[in-house]
């Protein structure tokens, strides 16, 4: 299993600003994923971040809006840029695809409110 | 496109009864399906994984079935307890380890 922490746990931001969310894992992992969970909705994958390569974004998400860094095998950041109230959501990072279980482990999430 | 549907309405049951949650999917043949539990303000927690060649899987009071013909998975919690109250998500694999999640079913177990 993996223990994942995220910072900040929550934040309230003004429209037009940017917020960087950090994700730290207690072990080295190849793949990290960033998800968004809007109020009352399920999780939607934003991008996959592999160390040493550019993140792969899902349809509807672009690097200019959600730049991602993956400097090493235990850490990643997601930035929500030029925020609008529609970006209010919970952002979660996850790791998985290791060993033979194919399970994913999630961080506690960052609750973002944009005014 | 791939689509996953879970019971949209909250499920309310009495303590001690069996809770049954449904996950249906279309336009896809996943290699495996997963069930997660999510409590308010927390990230999802993995419960069970069942592969396409498995009909049923059990873990303590939990049981998952996977019918690839019906494109459906059922998630059962036997002898339910108030502590089982949470939202339960099913998820299907796609290429590269990515998961597609259902919208979740909120379960409430009354004492």
Interchain proximity A43–B32, CB inside 8 Å: no
pLDDT tens string A10-61: 999 999 999 999 999 999 988 899 999 998 788 999 999 988 888 999 999 9
A8: cis peptide before it, omega within 30°? yes
One digit per residue, the tens of pLDDT, for chain B of length 111 reads 778 899 878 999 999 999 999 999 988 788 888 999 999 888 999 999 998 889 899 999 999 999 989 999 999 999 999 999 999 999 988 766 678 899 999 999 999
Kindly list the residues from chain A whose CB atom is less than 8 angstroms away from the CB atom of residue B104.
42
Token digits of residue B3: 């689509």
- How sure is the predictor about A97, in pLDDT bands with cuts at 50, 70 and 90? low
Residue A4: strand, helix, or coil: strand
Residue B3 near residue B102 (C-beta atoms within 8 A): no
Kindly list the residues from chain A whose CB atom is less than 8 angstroms away from the CB atom of residue B99.
43, 45, 104
Alpha-carbon gap: A87 to the closest alpha carbon of chain B (Å): 17
Residue A31 near residue A77 (C-beta atoms within 8 A): no
DSSP designation for A86: G
Q: What is the pLDDT of residue A64?
A: 97
Measured CA distances, B91 to B43, B44, B108 (Å): 14, 11, 21
Q: What is the pLDDT of residue B13?
A: 95
């Amino acid at each position: 299993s993996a223990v994942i922490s995220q910072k900040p746990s929550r934040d309230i931001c003004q429209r037009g600003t940017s917020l960087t969310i950090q994700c730290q894992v207690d072990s080295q992992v190849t793949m990290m994923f960033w998800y968004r969970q809007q109020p009352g909705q399920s999780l939607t994958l934003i991008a996959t971040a592999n160390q040493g390569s550019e993140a792969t974004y899902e349809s509807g998400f672009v690097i200019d809006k959600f730049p991602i860094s993956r400097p090493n095998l235990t850490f990643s950041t997601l930035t929500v840029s030029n925020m609008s109230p529609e970006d209010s959501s919970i952002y979660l990072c996850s790791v998985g695809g290791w060993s033979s279980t194919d399970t994913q482990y999630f961080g506690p999430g960052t609750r973002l409110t944009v005014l | 496109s791939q689509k996953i549907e879970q019971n949209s309405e909250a499920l309310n049951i009495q303590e001690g009864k069996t809770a049954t949650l449904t996950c249906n999917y279309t336009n896809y043949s996943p290699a495996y399906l997963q069930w997660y539990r999510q409590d308010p303000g927390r990230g999802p927690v993995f419960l069970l994984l069942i592969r396409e060649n498995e009909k049923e899987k059990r873990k303590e009071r939990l049981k998952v079935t996977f019918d690839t013909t019906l494109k459906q998975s059922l998630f059962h919690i036997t002898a339910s307890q108030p502590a089982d109250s949470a939202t339960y998500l099913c998820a299907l694999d796609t290429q590269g380890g990515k998961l597609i999640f259902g919208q979740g079913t909120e379960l409430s177990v009354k004492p």
